[in-house]
Amino acid sequence: MDHLLANPNFEFVRHDINEPIDLENLPELQKFKIQFQGIQEIYNLACPNSPIRFEDNVINTLLANSQAVKNLLEMAKKFESKILHFSSSVVYGPRNEDIRRIEESNPGIVDPLSKRSSYDEGKRFAETMVVNYRDFYNIDAKIIRLFRTYGPRMKLDDGNMIPDFIRDALDNKDLEVPGDENFFSSFCYVTDVVDAAVKMMDSNSKGPINIGSDVDINVFTVAKKIVQAIGSESKVKEADKHYFITPQAIPDITKSRTELGWLPIQTLDKGLELTIQDLRANKGIKSVKDTLDN
């Protein structure tokens, strides 16, 4: 975020959005004259999603998908703002091998009592809230459903697959795929997702619209690509399945193409290269900091 902090038109506000916030009365935001200028656009991406910290955050996850969404919808209603809610492919439930690519009209099947239900069912409830606020209060609310996304600036200690693979390959440790050799998924580069979000906000579409790569790839293949790109001595092996890291549906992106003019353009190989470069640098900085702290 350092490159943004130097921008006079950017202000970072640390706040728990499970609690209401009065932006126009915050001293650090006075320069934006919100009481006169209002707020034009709201992008809601706030939700815990760290696999290794999931159990510690189940209540916060529920609140992020309910109370926090309500607070932002109330803000959109107050300022007559456009709001884009980032949902997830988890609303479709577990991957169904009989469905090659899943369309937005598919209602999905989700277990409301599973270990991961605070996230999966929470995302479904959040969509319900967005749609009902939109219809009842006539606000300009939109929904996109994100599929697996990766790229620079991901945390190295959150338990997500791509950064974990890169970290372990840099350390010449074995890469552990949580599942067997039949674990397939898709991976969309972050700049493609940002492009889709901007196009969605500027469009007349309300969604939901799938945003992700429609290329189905074996996760073992992805891990091996990372090992090869780094020149690591690591091996790729199976590990115990993790209930928060599972095969997910592959998106049908027909609507994103026809309604937004959007397709993912970054290749996996190039995206991994850019991500490796960034995480390699961040890992070095973190290692130096840890050494100094000790």
| Residues tagged active-site | 119
- In angstroms, the CA 68 to CA 75 distance is 11
Question: Residues, the chain, total?
Answer: 294
Instruction: Please give the single-letter amino acid code of residue 275.
Output: T
Phi and psi for 254 in degrees, rounded to 5? -60, -45
Contact 220, 92 (CB under 8 A): no
Tell how strand 140-146 and strand 209-211 pair up: parallel
| Cα-based distances in Å from 65 to 171, 172, 237, 275 | 36, 38, 35, 29
Tell how strand 217-218 and strand 184-185 pair up: antiparallel
Contact 108, 91 (CB under 8 A): yes
Cα–Cα nearest to 133, from 92, 80, 87, 90: 80
- In angstroms, the CA 140 to CA 70 distance is 14
Q: What residues pair up with 237 in beta bridges, in sequence order?
A: 176
Q: Dihedral sign for Cα 150, 151, 154, 156, please.
A: positive
At 81, is the secondary structure helix, strand, or coil?
A: coil
